[in-house]
Structure formats: C-alpha cells, structure tokens
Structure 1
Amino acid sequence: METVKIRNPGMHWDIAANIHFPPEFQAGKQYPAIVSNHPIGSCKEQTSGNIYGAALAKAGFVVIVPDASYQGGSGGEPRWIEDPEQRVKDYRDVIDYAQSLPYVDPERIGILGICGGGGYSIKATIIDKRIKALVSITGVNFGRLMREGFSNFDPVGALEDMAAQRTAENAGGDERINIFLPASVEEGKAAGINDIDVLEATDYYRNRCPAEGSGTRMLVSHAAPAIAWDAFAFAETLLTQPMMVIFGDKPGGFGAYRDGMEIYGRAASTNKELVVAEGWSHYDLYDKPEPVGLALEKLVPFFRMHLSATATARQTMAAE
C-alpha cells in the first residue's frame, strides 16, 4: 500500500489517499482501477480501505481510497465540512489522478461507495462517464437524510439555525460541531436511543474500528448545501452505467434499505443488480465477515465483468 497526496487544478489543498495494489503488482502493466469511497464521518483506514479496498486489490484491481476534503488526512479549512458537491468533485479529481498513473488503464475505472459514500458515488457516476461500473454498499442519499432525520424532519428550521450559526461565527463566535454519535452504546441507550443504525454505528466507530482520521462529526455553519442536495437527481435518464446495489434487509434510521430500493428502480441502466443481504444490517456490511463475504462474492465478479477491456470498449462504442 502507498499513501499519496493528490492535487488538481483549482484546488488549494491535497486529497490524501491510500493506493492498494494487487498481489505481484508490476508497474509496467496496466490494471483496472476502482475508487473506493468511505462513509460520512469515516476515513480511508476504515471499511472503504481495510475491508473493501484490501479485498478488491487482492482480487486484481488497483484501488484508490481517498479521504474526503476537510476530513481525515486531506486538506481543506475549516475542518469537518460535509459538502456533497465537494465530495463528488473529490472523486472526479481522484479519477483524473488515476488516469495519469501509467499502471492504470484509463478506460477501465470503477467506483464503490459505502453509506453516504455510496450516495456520493451514485451522483459521480450520473455525471462522469469515465466511470464504467458502480457498486453502492448500503448507500444513503445524504440530502434526503439531512432533510429528514438529521434535521428532525424540519429542514427549514435547520437552515435557519445554520444561517444563525454562520452569522455568529462571522462575528467572531465559536464554531459549533454536530457530533453524529454518542460516546458509547451504553450512553446512547441511556439517552433513549434505540435505532439500530445509530447504536451499531456507535459500536463500529467507537469499538470495532476506531481510527484517528474518523470524525463522525459535521460543522453546522457549512451544512446547508447538503439539505438542498439529491444524490439521485436525473438517475432515470443519466445513470446508464452498469450498477450493483447492496444492502441488508434490517432497515434502520439512516435509510439504506429505502434508498437502495429507490435508486435500483430509478436508474436508467439496463444492466443493474440488486443484492439484499438477508438477516444483516447496515453496519454488519462494514466489517462482519459473513455479510462482507456475501457482498464480495457478488461485487468482485461484477467489477471483473464490467471493467474488462472488452466490456469497457463496448460501453465507449455505445456512448458514441
């Protein structure tokens, strides 16, 4: 594995990324590449890297796992901004970088995203036809979540609060950070939280896989763009690439089951697959061996099929 810094024209900071290489990697060869994108509040050292990135590299792909701008090892100030449009731009900048690498076939690039990273990867695929195949794992449309649960179903009130906070900060007041999760599962239960997604997220980030770059937080004064954002806009006409949607059948408050069904139904792609991991939840698919194994059993052949030289050539000809 190699850690790199990626800077493209128009950026004033670097994107930090880990590159996972296939076994017996040869710099003189060209490989299909996958950009693997972490959940909201996560980082490149967690599920997008240490689980799916590592497994896909073992399967023969070059896998680039970036940290979001303003988070983890990436630059950008102020810290802990969660900006959907910037996330999509980050992914496209990473693809620019991937296409410049001599050992990456620039015509065989796929994308994978987990949770909010799944929603962002869907939007990137809608607008960027360099992406030849998409996998969303327990993907969430963050704009929908912000308008609903993350704003207590009062998006206008949340926008007014964000505006007031931004005014206060411009006048010299302190930043306000929204910490997504309780400090522990026990603290969450004591506070009356019983949602499976919140409690299992707390277990994952606080116990199973803590990481220094994982923030699980958001700067309130810069969160307004997310409320007016939609990961799935125009999917019924513009999302034409092969797509696989994976989620568990235990629904929770973050809405991956609902969002997965929606994007599967709406996508214009004539080559789309739905994988429901029966008996498993959103956060089981982050690192639990059995559900992760079920996901990999489906997505590795999917990427091999659609990132083959023949398949990408067919896609290019069809687009022309």
Structure 2
Amino acid sequence: MSISIKAVTYRNLGWDSAADLYLPPGFDPARRYPALVSTHPIGSCKEQTSGKVYARGLAAEGFVVLAFDASFQGASGGEPRFIEDPALRVSDIRFAIDYLQSLPYVDAGRIGAIGICGGGGYAVHAAMTDYRIKALAAITGVNFGRLMREGFSQFDPVGALEAMAGQRAAEAQGAARHLISYLPASVAEARQAGITDIDVLEATDYYKTPRGQQPNGAGSGLLSFNGAAMAWDAFQHAERLLTQPLMVVMGDKPGGFGAYRDGWDIYGRAASPVKQMVLVEGCSHYDLYDQPEPVAQALARLVPFFHEHLPERQA
C-alpha cells in the first residue's frame, strides 16, 4: 500500500489557501490520526521539499500531513502576489491547523508542526502562540528576520529599508511592482559573480535546475513588502513561550543562510523541557531538502519523535 495525496482548499483571511493533504497507507476515514502541518521555505512551494519529501515521508509512517502554499504564493490566493510577510506566514500555519481540526479523521489533540528553512522559523514562532501545536520540528530552520537584517540586506538593513520605502512609495503612485529573486539565475552565473557560499550555490542548484525546480517555487519576493521581516524575530520570547517538545534538525556544514547558527540559537533559548538536537554529519543546508541519505537520517529521528509526543489517546 502507498500513501495518497489529495488537493484541497480552505478559507484563509479573505482568500483561499491551497494545500496537498498526504494520507497514510491503508487510510481509514473512520480512524483518528495524528496530523502535521508542513511549512515550506522562503520562495518555495508545497510541491518542493515540504510536500514531496517531508510530508510524503511522514505520511508513510502513519501521519496525516498538510503541506500548504503560503498566502500570496503558489496556488494559494491573495494579492499582490509574492508577498513574504512573517506575520502572515505564521497566520497561515494557524489556518492550516483550523483546517486539520475540521477533518473527522484527525485527532485535534495530536497535531504537530514541521518547517524547512524559513518555514522552520515560522513553525517555531507559530508554536509559541498556538498551543494546539503539541510538538514541532525545525528542519535546517532559519530565522528570516535575522537573515533579512544581515545577508539579504548586505548587512545594511537601514539602507535596504530606505530602498523598500522608496519603491513602495513609487508603487503607490502607479509604478510597476519590483519582483526580486533571492538567488542568481544559475550556478554558473553565481560562480562568475565570485559567489562561493555553499548555501547560495546549493540553493541555486536546487531551485534553478530540474533537481527541485517548480513553477510556483522560484525564490522570488516583492521588494516593497520585504520590510515587514526586518524588525521580526522568529525566536523572540522562546525562553518563556516555547514549551512544546522541540526537535532541531540541521547539517554540520555551516552556510551563509545561517541554519547552523539559528539551530543552536533556538535549541539553547527554547523553554521546552523536552528538546533534541539532530546534527547530520557531513551534511549541508540543502542536502536536507532532498538528498536521500541526509533525509533518511532526519526522518529516522522525526518519526519516533512525533509518535512519542503525539501519542494515541484513550477513548
């Protein structure tokens, strides 16, 4: 028997969210299953690592998993397109939980969350303010606010904010929206520009080649709306509010996007009485997106973690 995948939509704030619902082998609608929300990286979509890799792998082990597209991105609604706003991304997770709780075959008391890259930071932040999440895992998780203030703004956040303000002012007067790509067009172009950072090169290989390329996951965002992330911190108040069982999964090869740094940061700061660090040796940030051996090592720890902390309840 194999898993099955069902395309679904559900209501968000003023638009519909699109998602793929991954159902376990031998799915029985009369049963009550533990469920997980899977949150994709910045500029990604549900057909990439959050769905194709992790939702699929966890569904195969008995979980109902919802991999959704962020609002304003992918197949989900919302205008203008390509907004990356942390508050709205965290809100998306809450609406995904609302949807899972509406399903008769989901045990509402056994819902967990995973997130990859920036989605890991969003999952952490969502868990601090939504205790319907009973356990969570950040997979090569990144604090997008920290990344915006540093690498994505060339370590000049004030200058970046001034540019964003100017662009938004122009757009309010009718100028065309400015869509930026977070990545070079190709690995060759990146190398020609003198880029040597492992994360940028491997991200480009993932998003810009058949390896992971998807029409809805091209790594783009609206410059004029990126300011929302500058003053945001995925881990703020974790020392007090993040109390659920937490697993941090990351490789031991640091890169410019900072998952290694952020992973140790949230592991140290979380108030969670139960927290586990899974350090995959010889592995980079993007190895954990889709490479068989690192993903297998991650799933080998994620599966028992969620089975333990989303246990079947007595009727």
Structure-1-length-normalised TM-score: 0.95
**What displacement does 1:250 show?**
0.4
- Which residue of 1 is the match for residue 38 of structure 2? 36
Give the one of 268, 271, 276 matched to 1:273: 276
Q: Is the contact made by 1:134 and 1:242 (CA closer than 8 Å) also made in structure 2? A: yes
Structure 2 distance, partners of 1:253, 1:199, is 10
Aligned residues: 310
Structure 1 distance, partners of 2:26, 2:11, is 28
Q: Does 1:97 align with 2:83?
A: no
Identity %: 63
Q: Is the contact made by 1:71 and 1:215 (CA closer than 8 Å) also made in structure 2? A: no
- Which residue of 2 is the match for residue 294 of structure 1? 297
Structure 2 distance, partners of 1:310, 1:141, is 34
Give the one of 7, 10, 17 matched to 1:3: 7
Q: Is the contact made by 2:6 and 2:20 (CA closer than 8 Å) also made in structure 1? A: yes
Q: Is the contact made by 1:242 and 1:272 (CA closer than 8 Å) also made in structure 2? A: yes
- Which residue of 2 is the match for residue 179 of structure 1? 181
Q: Is the contact made by 2:124 and 2:136 (CA closer than 8 Å) also made in structure 1? A: yes
Q: Does 1:246 align with 2:249?
A: yes
**What displacement does 1:215 show?**
2.8
- Which residue of 2 is the match for residue 212 of structure 1? 215
Give ranges in structure 2 of 5+ residues lacking alignment: none
1:245-264 to 2 correspondence within 5 Å?
Answer: 245-264=248-267
Q: Is the contact made by 1:3 and 1:17 (CA closer than 8 Å) also made in structure 2? A: yes
1:1-320 to 2 correspondence within 5 Å?
Answer: 1-8=5-12, 11-207=13-209, 208-310=211-313
State the 4+ residue runs in structure 1 displaced beyond 2 angstroms: none
Structure 2 distance, partners of 1:223, 1:241, is 30
SS in 2 for 1:280: coil
Give ranges in structure 1 of 5+ residues lacking alignment: 314-320
Q: Is the contact made by 2:17 and 2:68 (CA closer than 8 Å) also made in structure 1? A: yes
Structure 2 distance, partners of 1:223, 1:40, is 12
The structure where helix makes up a greater share of residues is 1
Q: Is the contact made by 1:80 and 1:215 (CA closer than 8 Å) also made in structure 2? A: no
- What one-letter code is carried by the residue in structure 2 that aligns with 1:28? A
